[in-house]
Structure 1
């Protein structure tokens, strides 16, 4: 059993559709109203059917009061790290400390290149993300004197002033699947944010992938618990008969999520579906029961 001891978070993974745009906003408002912890949005700037995720995050921050917000995950190749650092700090300040930074090395390279971004190999993407995380953290670090300078292979920052300082310690949550990205997550990330449907063996993949992150964290001189484990589950429904992960009655959801927390160390659960009723039932019938089980077992 693996339990990294983090508090539990329950939230949503919302499609930022441009047609009927208010639906995405209303889903976030519903999550805020019913007491969920986190609302996240996909980020595909090359997709004309989607709203720009950063604009949507800012608008939703103004329409909500308590729920935390994040991209899931932001496409680094189309969001320069120094600019992203200032934008993230600004939104965190304006929202009262409710922003977290989900980030990825990039995917769908044809779309990225079509928008003017650099086309990178998988290995180059890892290197670029490593540089970007260092730049972002340096811009947030207002305790260190002197300007930020970074002369890397992928990014150059030559004397940028530090700040603004975020309202809270923003978590950097990395979308990662392959060995090099998992190693980067363990060495530098505050969280690991994959989608269960993209894991090669689903839940059965978690022991091996967690071990890779743990090993990298230890090699970097960090405790494995420094990396929160989050999970997107896109295909969800409440139904009388179970059909796999989060596809049955609420009691089955509760059992499955408690097992993910206590056996695999996953402590943040983000559901797709883009459905108000599912969001409400998730908050009312699932989240409290999972919290109760995990608290009892930890106790």
Structure 2
């Protein structure tokens, strides 16, 4: 129990209402643009006010390019597993490996029975789901010999041909709450997907115990089962309860769920565009940073130098005159500096040069005899982690521009989405790292009081030329971002507006990636050496 170490992911849980069919599609596209990893939809085929979920997911897959898609969760009693397996594999192939499979045993049995489904007791539902998982996995297993054969109590598939295989290993996530379903999750599934609103205090811990025990009994590692969670709440300026308050409160509570209960995928249930933007822009990055910091600190604490051995134990065989073995190399984090800055690959897309890179000053050379505490190295690594988030946003910005060019998104909507990105919200004159770190970790102090740049200036006067140059480049990046914004505005009125827009984004890519690499090269060691305050 506790943190299973899975990479974090963030998703949206959208209502597939059919009153305005385009609205849910637009929300899914927005979720991708603001940086969600996953978009999910309710699946209630008996609900006439809803679009059919699998038809909707196919449409959304065609309108998106990176976000993963899943039903949350698929209503198995109304979807025969052999047909469902081929639907999932087909959409996974068409979408480039972006489909996951959430499954449930069934609920709302009156409505299911009214649609022609078979009413099942809770125990029957678990047995039917177990059989269905067998059917689905056999359909996908195209390497096995013979046809699909499951002679079950509820599902009989007698020799059906296998295939197609999905484009990637599709995860099967179960919406489970009761012991039998939880045990099935541990023994056969790839993920556990409950909703926080249906859980009582302690249910996550108890559920993890059942899943872990069932996984071990089946010969599996409990960490093979990803823990996902649907969450709902309210953003407010003042905290009034769990997930009811400012973004910082949300981040702290979700980070605690990740570290204490092993949740690694948080799926926000909301159809409010502003909630989606805020969750992606403020909550998700903060949770990543808090969890990464705790994991780094935990890993560092677990590393201890090797105990010195007696001379006779270290001696090599051969008797008198034998030389002792070399001392063991200090493990990473035991004092050696192991934070690796991201190199500049030298690729430039634009012919414009905002600055002369050859004139960049260099800071003092590190002292080769110095050791670095793991905690301070984690602070230096944080700079790279924050920058990686900005690099990922740059990729999403390129995708957004391509959608503008293809007519899938208008320029005004694109401007709105870009303005939610950290890359745009960041106060570049204060520094990327300072803004992100201070906002997430030390919100009770002003940025100026806890600015990393002023702290580094006080700690080592030799860094002044580098810090001056970095601040100059921050201003230049701000100007380049303004150029992108002007190009978006001009796009609707200029004959060749797309060329200008792409050129502006290419210039942004050149300046941003070059700057981030330079900042990491010059600051990771000073941050580790001087600390954060």
Alignment TM-score, normalising by the size of structure 1: 0.97
For residues 77-88 of structure 1, the aligned pairs below 5 Å read 77-88=77-88
Q: Give the CA deviation at 1:231.
A: 0.3
Counterpart in the other structure of 1:222 = 220
Distance 2:145 2:5 in 1: 35
SS in 1 for 2:39: strand
Counterpart in the other structure of 2:432 = none
Counterpart in the other structure of 1:188 = 188
Higher strand share: 1
**Larger relative CO (CA 8 A, sep 6+): 1 or 2?**
1
SS in 2 for 1:271: strand
Distance 1:250 1:165 in 2: 41
SS in 1 for 2:40: strand
Counterpart in the other structure of 2:210 = 212
What is the aligned counterpart of 1:294 among 287, 291, 294?
A: 291
What is the aligned counterpart of 1:265 among 262, 266, 271?
A: 262
Residue 228 of structure 2 is aligned to residue 233 of structure 1: no
Q: Give the CA deviation at 1:92.
A: 0.3
Q: Give the CA deviation at 1:22.
A: 1.4
For residues 30-69 of structure 1, the aligned pairs below 5 Å read 30-69=30-69
Distance 1:287 1:68 in 2: 16
For residues 134-153 of structure 1, the aligned pairs below 5 Å read 134-153=134-153
Q: Give the CA deviation at 1:244.
A: 2.5
Q: Give the CA deviation at 1:246.
A: 1.9
Distance 2:23 2:238 in 1: 29
SS in 1 for 2:145: coil
Alignment TM-score, normalising by the size of structure 2: 0.55
SS in 1 for 2:235: coil
Matched length: 296
Residue 122 of structure 2 is aligned to residue 122 of structure 1: yes
What is the aligned counterpart of 1:255 among 252, 262, 267?
A: 252
Distance 1:277 1:96 in 2: 29
Q: Give the CA deviation at 1:245.
A: 2.7
Q: Give the CA deviation at 1:24.
A: 0.9
Counterpart in the other structure of 1:172 = 172
Q: Give the CA deviation at 1:286.
A: 1.0
Q: Give the CA deviation at 1:63.
A: 0.8
Distance 1:284 1:273 in 2: 15
Distance 1:209 1:173 in 2: 14
5+ residue gaps, structure 2: 297-533
Counterpart in the other structure of 1:14 = 14
SS in 2 for 1:229: strand
Q: What's the C-alpha RMSD, in Å, of the aligned pairs?
A: 0.9
Distance 2:130 2:239 in 1: 41
Give a deviation string over 1:128-167, Cα, whole Å, max 9, x none: 0000001100000011121111111111111111111100
Distance 2:203 2:159 in 1: 43
Q: Compare 107-116 and 139-148 and name the one that shifted more.
A: 139-148
Distance 1:244 1:120 in 2: 38
Distance 1:4 1:283 in 2: 23
For residues 83-94 of structure 1, the aligned pairs below 5 Å read 83-94=83-94
Distance 1:244 1:217 in 2: 34
Distance 1:149 1:29 in 2: 39
Distance 2:27 2:164 in 1: 30
Give a deviation string over 1:21-48, Cα, whole Å, max 9, x none: 2111111000011111000000101111
- 4+ runs deviating over 4 angstroms: none
Give a deviation string over 1:182-217, Cα, whole Å, max 9, x none: 111111110000011111x14x32111111111111
